[in-house]
Chains A and B, each alone.
Chain A
Amino acid sequence: MNPERAQQIDRWAEYVKTSKGAWKKEHAAFINAQFEKSEAFYLRLAKQPGGKEKIIRLFGIQNLNAVPFLKP
């Protein structure tokens, strides 16, 4: 492992252990942002010609009731 990367992981872990829970808010924002960006992207893609088919192939979806916005 790259030593700088290892140090970065150790520094963040130390912050998690010592920040009395303050890390959770930053962490939640980081995690949620990924899903919001991803969801917004796929909703845009679904509106493009052939977009729904691309998503269905990409995720291997065989049950469209799971994701009704992908139905034709």
Chain B
Amino acid sequence: MRLVHDRNVLDAFCLDFCRVLERHAKYIIVSGFLAISSGRTRGTEDIDVILERLDEEKFKRLDKDLVKSGFECIQGEKPEFLYRQYLAENLSLRYVRRGHLLPEMEVKLAKDLLDEHQLENRAKLPLTGVDVWFGDVNINIAFKEELLKSEKDLEDARHLRAIFSDQVDEKKINGAKHLIHQWRLKT
């Protein structure tokens, strides 16, 4: 049983993990957890995080700190293996709190200018009550409406538009959609 009083399990997991990340790299939390921590009621098993590009030595230091802080990568123990087989190939690593299967933190490195653009535009969102860096709300909406497009993602986007109606900027959303076409959809 992991009751965390007023805070939910995902919030506590994210905060603890990001406290470690903060010491090593610029990061952003994106996608589902942004919607969920903004009040959306739906399930998820993982939290997506994008890190600025790190070299292998910096990643080794980060991994060591994560392990010391009670997290483990389920894909392996050797940081050089994890870096070369996953991060360097733009694949995600999945970390859990030691002894628990879920939730997972899905960690990947920024892979293109679009990810770097998101890192540059990161923001804290006090309404969530979770003091971590999030990807920009408008860019997240653009991703969900233009790239991901599942029922769940379109509902997330609708929820984000309603919650952050004072921050929604159609020009910014359309700009991000243009970048998505340029960098991810290549159209």
Binding site for B on A (CB under 8 A): 1, 5-6, 9-10, 12-14, 16-17, 23-25, 27-28, 30-32, 34-36, 38-39, 42, 55, 59-63, 65-69
Contacts and interface: CB of A to CB of B under 8 A. Distances in A.
A63 B75 contact: yes
Given A1-B154, A13-B163, A27-B39, A67 B99 contact: yes
Interface stretch (B3-11, B21-29, B133-141, B170-178): B3-11
A13 B8 CA distance: 19
A62 B103 contact: no
Nearest to B1: A36
B163 A16 contact: yes
Contacts of A67: 72, 74, 96, 98-101
A39 B102 contact: yes
B8 A32 contact: yes
Most A-side CB within 10 Å, residue of B36, B74, B101: B101
Interface residues of B, number: 37
Contacts of B129: 24
B76 A62 contact: yes
Interface of B: 1-4, 6-11, 36, 38-41, 43, 72-77, 96, 98-103, 129, 151, 154-155, 158-159, 162-163
B3 A39 contact: no
Across chains A and B, which 10 residue pairs bring their CB atoms closest together, nearest first?
A66-B72, A13-B162, A16-B39, A28-B8, A31-B8, A35-B9, A66-B74, A61-B74, A63-B77, A34-B43
Given A5-B155, A30-B41, A62-B74, A38 B102 contact: yes
B76 A35 contact: no
A62 B75 contact: yes
A44 B101 CA distance: 13
Contact of B158 (A6, A27, A28, A30): A6
Contacts of A5: 155
Contacts of B38: 16
Nearest to A13: B162
B101 A59 contact: yes
A65 B72 contact: yes
A39 to B, nearest CB: 7
B9 A13 contact: no
Given A39-B102, A63-B72, 13 more contacts: A1-B155, A5-B155, A13-B158, A17-B163, A27-B8, A35-B2, A38-B102, A63-B75, A65-B77, A65-B98, A66-B96, A67-B98, A67-B101
